[in-house]
Amino acid sequence: MSRDFEMVQSRRTLSVADQGNAVVIPPAQNSRMSDAIADNFGQILELASGIVEIEKMKVQSAAVLKQMEESRKNLLAEAEAYATKKNADTDGVVQKMQMVRDMMRDFYQYNNNANLSGEDFSRIISSIVSEMGRL
């Protein structure tokens, strides 16, 4: 009994056969697919252009966000510097007022028989404070 085998091409049709990295389209569908691509090539290009524009906008928006973050950091640094300067100015004024208060307290405490009136003393203190403000 001898068995002879004959190779017959399959009658089953596969829609898409994957062979490695390349996708092979059966010949019957090949012409239909190429006709569809040819008919819609303008729309395919328009879609690809839209995708490129979206990617471009994503890159631009990322750059704008980075720039906004840098601006925010700069504004915070400026605000801190301004607050520190204003606190120093306020401390200076408070120290001057403390000094004037101490001088007035000393004047009224030790001015029993002096020839200096409260009004004269007030003028002297005012001129001292004015002079300190110019320095």
Question: Tell me: the pLDDT tens digits for 88-117?
Answer: 888 888 888 888 788 778 777 777 666 777
Regions of the chain short of the pLDDT cut 50: 1, 14-19
Asked whether residue 15 is assigned to any structural domain, the reply reads: no
Rounded-to-integer distance, Cα 83 and Cα 93, Å: 15
- Domain enclosing residue 73, as ranges: 26-134
* Residue-level pLDDT at 18: 46
Crossing angle of the two packed helices 41-110 and 118-134, in degrees rounded to 10: 150
Overall domain count for the chain: 1
What is the reported pLDDT for 68?
97
pLDDT at 27: 58
Q: Are 126 and 90 in contact (CB under 8 A)?
A: no
